[in-house]
């Protein structure tokens, strides 16, 4: 049984009214999900946001679905109805048998029969999904699909407004720290987050993860621990899931006597689900974790002056492994000389060479700048060995104007190597003056002064395990990084 045109028209009026309300994101999306499910005479509806890396789907609104179904585990965008992200409507006739359903066993247990899903699009790109669930096997008409696409268009506007509010809030807080008026600057697209946490410690932990660009999902899965009469009598829902580390985190920063009960649940969880990696963090553990990442009362000095993290350590390492595979493939069967400029390249060079599957030798140069604005380059340490007739890869930490790199490449070319290419971790293309050739690039970085992972500001910050943007007030007039 499908909804009528009249019911769809009335539902869209309610949905647009809710979208234009002053309520928070989750309340608006819950209202939209309820109106959508009732209009389509369905048993449930779920509105999902795609995370910034397009890997996971996060519930931001729901109606008619049980907590167990909603928290059956993180939804992998590549495994859970993946065709929706290609911009198409997807119909699942039998959710218990279709391989496009990520958790068919939970669908069977919860009595989910058919699913209809459509993408939420922004400028032609999927940013989320809306799904309809029925308990009976059902076919959907073109009118049903058109209605759901119309709801998805409204959801796109809701998401865009929520993202704008988040960006404005971030910019306002940042401007307060800097002591100057707010001026919205372009920031990476953020993931739509929950509007409320159960405890302030969870919000603090989420801010820490956001600062270090560590992807997180809030309470994405509930684990049944005990059954009575065939029904679930007890469940455990960890506070966070960190996809990059494949670890669940439960915070215990309240009363100390709660730790015993949570430890009991964790022991049961590990016995029933031995493949699940879960950690319980007490107050002291939480503070030590803050300090480990240079954040909080035990480690503020380490990141003092860092405005935000641009690339965290895990992301840098993934990109380096990718670069190393490309380089190893291109130089297969050859010996390679890696040449770096001291001192900023030391971290990148050390990690890159570990992943190269071919014989390499290392050599280093040192340079200094003089003249007006330090634009003239002088070599203070030349190569120790000969590169004549050898394959040379110039390894750079960052390429800014390209003037330094161009000078060094001219110098190396004079030694008649068999080949000469360039690999840089960061490419600040916005400040390019000379179009020096770059063969391998890690990241194209914004026009900001960056530090960490070998990059310094006046000799400091090289030892940070990530690359971050330095507080603009510290680097006024000092944007050159070559």
Query: Which is more confident, 447 or 244?
Result: 447
pLDDT value for 166: 57
Average pLDDT for residues 29-48, to the nearest whole number? Answer: 94
Say yes or no to pLDDT of 175 above 60: no
- Comparing 101-110, 291-300, 438-447, the range with the smallest average pLDDT is 291-300
pLDDT value for 176: 46
Average pLDDT for residues 129-148, to the nearest whole number? Answer: 94
Q: State the catalytic residues.
A: 400
pLDDT value for 259: 80
pLDDT value for 6: 76
pLDDT value for 183: 40
pLDDT value for 387: 95
pLDDT value for 7: 85
- In the predicted model, what is the mean pLDDT of the chain? 84
Give residue 300's pLDDT band: very low, low, confident or very high (50, 70, 90).
Answer: low
Measure the CA–CA gap between 45 and 64, rounded to whole angstroms.
7
The DSSP secondary structure of 342-401, one letter per residue, reads: ETTTHHHHHHHHHT--S-EEEEEEEEEEESGGG-EEEEEE--SS--TTSEEEEEEEEESS
Residue with tokens 């879960």: 278
pLDDT value for 217: 86
The two tokens of residue 47 are 């509105």
The two tokens of residue 114 are 């058919």
Q: What is the pLDDT of residues 49-87, one digit of tens each?
A: 988 778 888 888 999 998 878 888 888 888 899 999 888
Count of residues making up the chain: 482
Give residue 214's pLDDT band: very low, low, confident or very high (50, 70, 90).
Answer: confident
Say yes or no to pLDDT of 190 above 70: no
Backbone angles phi, psi at 166, to 5 degrees: -65, -45
Q: What is the pLDDT of residues 341-352, one digit of tens each?
A: 999 999 999 999
Give residue 12's pLDDT band: very low, low, confident or very high (50, 70, 90).
Answer: very high
pLDDT value for 130: 97
Average pLDDT for residues 272-286, to the nearest whole number? Answer: 86
The two tokens of residue 39 are 């209009």
Helix axes 5-19, 25-39, angle to 10 degrees: 180
Average pLDDT for residues 288-309, to the nearest whole number? Answer: 69
Give residue 188's pLDDT band: very low, low, confident or very high (50, 70, 90).
Answer: very low
Q: What is the pLDDT of residues 143-167, one digit of tens each?
A: 999 999 999 999 999 988 877 655 5
Say yes or no to pLDDT of 179 above 50: no
Give residue 181's pLDDT band: very low, low, confident or very high (50, 70, 90).
Answer: very low
Backbone angles phi, psi at 104, to 5 degrees: -65, -30
Average pLDDT for residues 135-146, to the nearest whole number? Answer: 93
Highest mean pLDDT among 7-11, 145-149, 209-213, 255-259: 145-149
The DSSP secondary structure of 35-85, one letter per residue, reads: HHHHHTT-SEEEEEEE-TTS-EEEEEEEES--HHHHTBS-EETTTSSGGGG
Give residue 364's pLDDT band: very low, low, confident or very high (50, 70, 90).
Answer: very high
Q: Are 412 and 430 in contact, with CB atoms under 8 Å apart?
A: no
* CA Rg value for the chain: 27
Say yes or no to pLDDT of 169 above 60: no
Give all domains of the chain, ordered by start, each with its CATH number. Answer: 5-166 (3.30.450.40), 197-300 (3.40.960), 311-474 (3.40.50.2020)
Residues whose CB falls within 8 Å of the CB of residue 297, separated by 6 or more in sequence, listed in order: 287, 290, 291
Say yes or no to pLDDT of 317 above 80: yes
pLDDT value for 338: 97
Say yes or no to pLDDT of 373 above 60: no
Give residue 476's pLDDT band: very low, low, confident or very high (50, 70, 90).
Answer: low
pLDDT value for 164: 64
Give residue 431's pLDDT band: very low, low, confident or very high (50, 70, 90).
Answer: confident
Average pLDDT for residues 450-474, to the nearest whole number? Answer: 87
- Comparing 56-60, 207-211, 467-471, the range with the smallest average pLDDT is 207-211
């Amino acid at each position: 049984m499908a909804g009528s045109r009249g019911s769809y028209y009335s539902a869209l009026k309610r949905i647009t009214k809710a979208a234009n309300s002053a309520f928070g994101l989750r309340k608006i999306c819950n209202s939209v999900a309820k109106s959508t499910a009732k209009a389509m005479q369905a048993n449930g509806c779920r509105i999902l946001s795609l995370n910034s890396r397009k890997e996971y789907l996060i519930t931001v609104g729901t109606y008619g679905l049980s907590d167990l179904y909603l928290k059956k585990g993180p939804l992998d965008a590549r495994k859970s109805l993946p065709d929706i992200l290609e911009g198409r409507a997807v119909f699942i006739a039998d959710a218990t048998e279709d391989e496009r359903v990520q958790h068919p066993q939970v669908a069977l247990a919860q009595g989910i029969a058919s699913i209809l899903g459509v993408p939420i699009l922004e400028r032609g790109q999927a940013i989320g999904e809306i799904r309809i669930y029925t308990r009976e096997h059902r076919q959907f008409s073109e009118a049903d699909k058109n209605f759901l696409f119309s709801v998805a268009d409204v959801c796109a506007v809701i998401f865009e407004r929520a993202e704008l509010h988040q960006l404005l809030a971030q910019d306002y807080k940042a401007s307060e720290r800097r002591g100057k008026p707010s001026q919205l600057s372009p920031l990476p697209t953020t993931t739509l987050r929950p509007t409320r946490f159960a405890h302030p410690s969870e919000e603090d932990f989420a801010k820490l993860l956001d600062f270090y660009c560590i992807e997180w999902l809030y309470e994405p899965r509930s684990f049944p621990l005990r059954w009575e009469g065939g029904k679930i009598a007890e469940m455990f829902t960890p506070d966070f899931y960190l996809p990059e580390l494949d670890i669940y985190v439960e915070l215990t920063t309240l009363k100390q006597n709660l730790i015993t009960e949570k430890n009991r649940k964790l022991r049961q969880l590990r016995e029933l689900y031995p493949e699940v990696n879960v950690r319980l963090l007490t107050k002291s553990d939480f503070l030590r974790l803050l300090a480990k990442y240079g954040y909080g009362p035990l480690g503020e000095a380490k990141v003092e002056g860092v405005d935000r993290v641009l690339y965290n350590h895990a992301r840098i390492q993934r990109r380096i492994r990718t670069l190393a595979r490309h380089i190893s493939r291109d130089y297969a069967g050859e010996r390679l000389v890696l040449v770096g400029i001291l001192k900023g390249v030391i971290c990148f060079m050390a990690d890159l060479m570990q992943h190269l599957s071919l014989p390499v030798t290392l050599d280093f140069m040192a340079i200094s700048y003089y003249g007006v604005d330090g634009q003239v380059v002088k070599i203070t340490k030349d190569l120790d060995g000969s590169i004549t007739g050898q394959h040379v890869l110039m390894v750079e930490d960052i390429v800014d104007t390209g003037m330094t790199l161009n000078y060094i490449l001219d110098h190396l070319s004079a030694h008649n190597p068999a080949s000469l290419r360039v690999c840089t971790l960061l490419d600040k293309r916005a400040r390019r003056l000379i179009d020096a050739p770059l063969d391998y690039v890690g990241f194209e970085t914004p026009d900001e002064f960056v530090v960490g992972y070998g990059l310094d500001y006046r000799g400091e910050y090289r030892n940070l395990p990530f690359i971050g943007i330095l507080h603009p007030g510290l680097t006024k007039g000092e944007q050159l990084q070559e």
